[in-house]
Structure 1
Amino acid sequence: MHSILISGAAQGIGAAVARLFCHQGYKVGIYDLNTTLAEQLAAKLGSHARAGYLDVTQYDSWQTALNEFEDWAGEINILVNNAGVLYSGNFEQIPIEAHHRTIDINIKGMMNGCHAAFSFLKRASFARVINLSSASAIYGQADLAVYSTSKFGVRGLTESLDIEWQKYGIRVMDVMPLFVHTAMVHDMQAESIKKMGVHLNAEDVALDILNLVQRKDHLLTPTHRPVGFRSQFLFQLSKISPQFINRLTNLWIARKF
């Protein structure tokens, strides 16, 4: 039985991933700062789920969580770097502390997870890393400047490690949803969410993660998986359009009329 450890798993996309994989027979690690919610979810899912504390910004917290989960599950097969935060609005009006927190959690937290988990994944019989990126990593988004920056960081590290770790049999991939019905998008101050709308739920993202993990032709599986039609369209458009077209498209998305 394969196992999966998910950061930020007490609610939202992380919780949807935990529920889906548990129902598919995986041993599931529900790790979060909010241990109360994590334990409540684990209790609902039953004996194949384990809850634990994880502060992704702290490397030693990752080490503790990984050791605990491996002792319980036997080995760690899948790591999902899901924990993240989002601040929206004009870049200069958001406190610099919020920008720093975005980088600390969304980039450094993921980097900590990949680095700390490497030795566990390397000795596992099957190993995958799935990082939560975003459609905002296709082109920098106005009113989401640092969040978008952080997701470009996720995209870059994912691409690099997917090549580096191929020799160990570890695939590193990401999912790139547009806006998802979670607490993260509540009261967002960005014109893009008004233009593009919210058409995905957490279960849509979880299903794409399951599909990535279970694909048999893993060597042919793309590193990036845009989630939903709108994200797929923007991702493909960015590949074939001149840069000025991409800029004009995103200028229209961001502009208030």
Structure 2
Amino acid sequence: MPEQDSRRPSVLITGGGAGLGEAMARRFAAAGYAVMVADLDEDRARGVAESLGASARWFVMDITDESAWTRAIEAVREEFGGLDVLVNNAGVAVGGSLEETSMEDWRWVIEIDLLGVVAGCKAFAPMMREQGRGHIINVASFAGFAAAPGINAYGTAKAGVVALSEMLRAELAPAGVEVSVLCPAFVKTRLTETMRAPDDSYQRRVERWMQNSGVTAEDVAQTVFAAVRRPRFMLLTHGNTRWAWRLKRWFPERYYRMLIKQVKKAERRARRG
């Protein structure tokens, strides 16, 4: 990041009361950052902030509410005097194919996972542009470029976050503001608590994949922190997603054939019970 003044660096993390958000809050606090833990759940936000020490603050917000972002700007100016890092982390999940997913669930996931990120960027980009420094981390997902079936609405919302971040990076670069997009695969979090899907089998599969991923929330938090210290745009946290991302970019038809092969294999397993 560009050289800063003598004040303590600051970070605001949405969805900071649990899971990846909490892990990131703890990593930044350990490095001396003043942390604003923003969450829809007041008890979670307060609990994490109080556990981080006197320099941390908590803020209750619905990321889809533009007035909440206005209040967040005011709180950050009052508490920190500015903002060095914004992590747009809060999100929800929807499972199901196009046919299985209701329009209500499409609107729900896009409103939170995509437009909530847009709202955060719109709120704090002017402040960072004025400062001449800052870093925005938008949390997308491997689902945003995997093109995998069964997560149509969720994957579309996260793909939008990737595209938004690519364009915002170019828009803010002349002002000295960095942008990164985080695209983790499965990590053990509380995401399935609010997940919407046609039946419970989706949640069970996701929880099993989270349990077996081998990548922790703390690992992801370290990737994010390292990208702030030494800016990088695309943050891939799982080894298999790194080669998948490259394969899809360079050989899209080969990637598609590989994807279909995996889908058919999964269908055979399902039929065998």
Residue 162 of structure 1: which of 165, 169, 174 is its match?
Answer: 169
What is the identity, as a one-letter code, of the residue corresponding to 1:202? A
Counterpart position of 1:4: 11
Whether the aligned pair in 2 keeps the contact of 1:179 and 1:185 (CA below 8 Å) is no
Q: Does 1:96 pair with 2:92?
A: no
For normalisation by structure 1, the TM-score amounts to 0.91
Residue 26 of structure 1: which of 21, 33, 41 is its match?
Answer: 33
For normalisation by structure 2, the TM-score amounts to 0.86
Q: Does 1:226 pair with 2:239?
A: no
Distance (Å, rounded) in 1 between the aligned partners of 2:18 and 2:262: 29
Whether the aligned pair in 2 keeps the contact of 1:53 and 1:65 (CA below 8 Å) is no
Following superposition, the deviation at residue 89 of structure 1 comes to 2.4
> Secondary structure at the residue paired with 1:200?
coil
1:134-159 deviation line (CA, Å, top 9, x unaligned): 11122322111111001110000100
Counterpart position of 1:122: 129
Whether the aligned pair in 2 keeps the contact of 1:30 and 1:49 (CA below 8 Å) is yes
Following superposition, the deviation at residue 69 of structure 1 comes to 1.8
Whether the aligned pair in 2 keeps the contact of 1:178 and 1:230 (CA below 8 Å) is no
What is the identity, as a one-letter code, of the residue corresponding to 1:254? V
Following superposition, the deviation at residue 112 of structure 1 comes to 0.4
Distance (Å, rounded) in 2 between the aligned partners of 1:36 and 1:185: 19
Distance (Å, rounded) in 2 between the aligned partners of 1:49 and 1:16: 14
Q: Does 1:105 pair with 2:129?
A: no
Q: Does 1:62 pair with 2:72?
A: no
Counterpart position of 1:252: 261
Distance (Å, rounded) in 1 between the aligned partners of 2:250 and 2:28: 35
Distance (Å, rounded) in 2 between the aligned partners of 1:124 and 1:23: 24
Following superposition, the deviation at residue 239 of structure 1 comes to 2.4
Distance (Å, rounded) in 1 between the aligned partners of 2:32 and 2:179: 22
Sequence identity of aligned pairs in percent? Answer: 28
The verdict on how the C-alpha distance between 1:40 and 1:230 changes in structure 2, with shifts beyond 3 A counting, is same
Whether the aligned pair in 2 keeps the contact of 1:190 and 1:254 (CA below 8 Å) is no
Counterpart position of 1:51: 58
Residue 208 of structure 1: which of 223, 234, 237 is its match?
Answer: 223
Following superposition, the deviation at residue 232 of structure 1 comes to 1.1
Counterpart position of 1:235: 245
1:8-40 deviation line (CA, Å, top 9, x unaligned): 111010010001100110000100110111001
Following superposition, the deviation at residue 212 of structure 1 comes to 0.4
Larger Rg: 2
Whether the aligned pair in 1 keeps the contact of 2:189 and 2:217 (CA below 8 Å) is yes
The verdict on how the C-alpha distance between 1:93 and 1:252 changes in structure 2, with shifts beyond 3 A counting, is same
Whether the aligned pair in 2 keeps the contact of 1:181 and 1:199 (CA below 8 Å) is no
Distance (Å, rounded) in 2 between the aligned partners of 1:192 and 1:229: 20
Give the gaps of 5 or more residues in structure 1.
none
Counterpart position of 1:78: 85
Following superposition, the deviation at residue 125 of structure 1 comes to 5.6
Following superposition, the deviation at residue 74 of structure 1 comes to 1.6
